[in-house]
Structure 1
Amino acid sequence: MDRGAQVGQRMTDQPSVISRRGLLGAFAATALIAAPTYSNAAGFLRGAGDIRRLKMYSRRTGESLDVIYWIEGDYIKDALTEVNWFMRDWRRDRSRAIDTRTVDIIAATQQLLDTPTPFLMLSGYRTAETNALLRKRSRGVAKNSLHMKGQAADLRMQGKSVRQVARAAASCAAGGVGRYSRSNFVHIDCGEKRLWGR
């Protein structure tokens, strides 16, 4: 069942480029705006009629999300509830509030990539149990992962390379961006500004 479609609205994507000037232009002048709301990215918010949209799907659950979650300065509570459920720990079927800063970075990254293609979400929120399980399988999983706080997501996008997605996310200058080329995904979080991997 497409839970996001219950709340979401369809909009036409506006073009943008991956550069500081292009980022400012994309977030200041277009009708569809998706920008981080904190740190160095606060200056990206400009103009009236701002709308932020998120598009993702999950092969694990078979669910899709296409939702407008912010309009003219206000987050839409029901839409965020949909985001929280979509980004749940599917292994435990448990959800928590996803940090809106992370949601904004993901949406801004999607806007910068200038494509209607949704993100494939590999991992959103993780319970402590799931994080411990994944740590046993991989040395790349942090003990105190921001996934457990609802502040991180691991994503990939069909037709876009890890480098392209990471570059767009890093252009937001608003959190952590990890490149995992061998596994074909990008980690995005709302923690300290940093870049790692290749």
Structure 2
Amino acid sequence: MHRRKLLQWGLSAVGAGLVPLAAARADDDIIGAILQGKHPNAPVVPAAPPVGLRPTPVETFAAQPAVEPKWVKLRNIHTDEKLEAVYWENGEYVPDAVTALNHVLRDYRNDEVHPIDPGLYDILGKIAEKTQTKAHFQVISGYRSPATNRMLSERSGEVARHSLHMDGKAMDIYLEDISLQEIRAEALGLQLGGVGYYPKSRFVHVDVGRVRAWSGT
């Protein structure tokens, strides 16, 4: 009951002589108790939160995993050109690095440059990670022009006439601190393309063609 109504009710009762003075005082005590919330019949009023202490909603965001840049280290054994480059960063291949890699992996016999499939760098990167190599990949053959591939095919029956080297989709490699057997095993385990093993010639062929494996000399 509102305080004013309670007071009016008490005063009118006294003024009308309906209650004795002691009773009126008792009513005043009851009214005070009700207003202070101590009387059993006092209405329950929810307490207001302290000013400045109300919890502030906090937006939560899913943590985004950090994406590491991808590196490749290689050396063209014919020109002695070395390159260590970040070829993939922020979700895409780095154009300048890819261009520089295309140049290093050119056909050294006639200096013809051809785009190299970046998937080859992914294969090299995974082999490097699995073998924990500290060395550059030694590249015996990257891109081959049709003229060079034809010449090599006529010399050796182990060079395919329609080699993926002509499309910039194959490399012949080795590492100075990792055995050929381990390089071959890791390349086979990736299942990302063709793997040729040439123990006498001391290199492993990797390409981004269909998954297959073979051995040569």
Q: Same fold (TM over 0.5)?
A: yes
Q: Determine if the alignment matches structure 1 residue 118 to structure 2 residue 118.
A: no
SS of corresponding position for 1:103: helix
1:19-168 pair list within 5 angstroms: 47-168=65-186
> Could you say if the C-alpha distance between residues 179 and 132 of structure 1 is closer, same or farther in structure 2, counting changes exceeding 3 Å?
same
Alpha-carbon offset, residue 124 of structure 1: 0.2
Decide whether the 8 Å contact of 1:50 with 1:73 is kept in 2.
no
Alpha-carbon offset, residue 47 of structure 1: 4.1
Which residue in the other structure is 1:41 paired with?
none
Relative to structure 2, which stretch is displaced further, 91-100 or 46-55?
Answer: 46-55
Could you tell me which runs of 5 or more consecutive residues in structure 1 were left unpaired when the two chains were aligned. Answer: 1-45
* CA distance in structure 2 between the aligned counterparts of 1:115 and 1:101, rounded to whole angstroms: 19
Which residue in the other structure is 1:177 paired with?
195
SS of corresponding position for 2:102: helix
Decide whether the 8 Å contact of 1:48 with 1:72 is kept in 2.
no
- RMSD between superposed Cα atoms in Å: 1.4
* CA distance in structure 1 between the aligned counterparts of 2:212 and 2:94, rounded to whole angstroms: 29
* CA distance in structure 2 between the aligned counterparts of 1:73 and 1:49, rounded to whole angstroms: 8
| Letter aligned with residue 75 of structure 1 | Y
* CA distance in structure 1 between the aligned counterparts of 2:167 and 2:140, rounded to whole angstroms: 16
Alpha-carbon offset, residue 49 of structure 1: 2.0
Could you tell me which runs of 5 or more consecutive residues in structure 2 were left unpaired when the two chains were aligned. Answer: 1-63
Q: Determine if the alignment matches structure 1 residue 191 to structure 2 residue 185.
A: no
> Could you say if the C-alpha distance between residues 195 and 47 of structure 1 is closer, same or farther in structure 2, counting changes exceeding 3 Å?
farther
| Letter aligned with residue 195 of structure 1 | A
Alpha-carbon offset, residue 70 of structure 1: 0.4
Alpha-carbon offset, residue 86 of structure 1: 0.8
> Could you say if the C-alpha distance between residues 158 and 129 of structure 1 is closer, same or farther in structure 2, counting changes exceeding 3 Å?
same
Q: Which has the higher contact order (CA 8 A, sep 6+)?
A: 1
* CA distance in structure 2 between the aligned counterparts of 1:70 and 1:150, rounded to whole angstroms: 18
* CA distance in structure 1 between the aligned counterparts of 2:77 and 2:212, rounded to whole angstroms: 29
TM-score (norm 2): 0.68
Percent identity over the alignment is: 37
| Letter aligned with residue 102 of structure 1 | L
Which residue in the other structure is 2:19 paired with?
none
Alpha-carbon offset, residue 169 of structure 1: 1.3
Decide whether the 8 Å contact of 1:147 with 1:153 is kept in 2.
yes
Decide whether the 8 Å contact of 2:133 with 2:177 is kept in 1.
no
TM-score (norm 1): 0.74
| Letter aligned with residue 175 of structure 1 | G
Structure 1 runs, 4 residues or longer, greater than 4 Å off: none
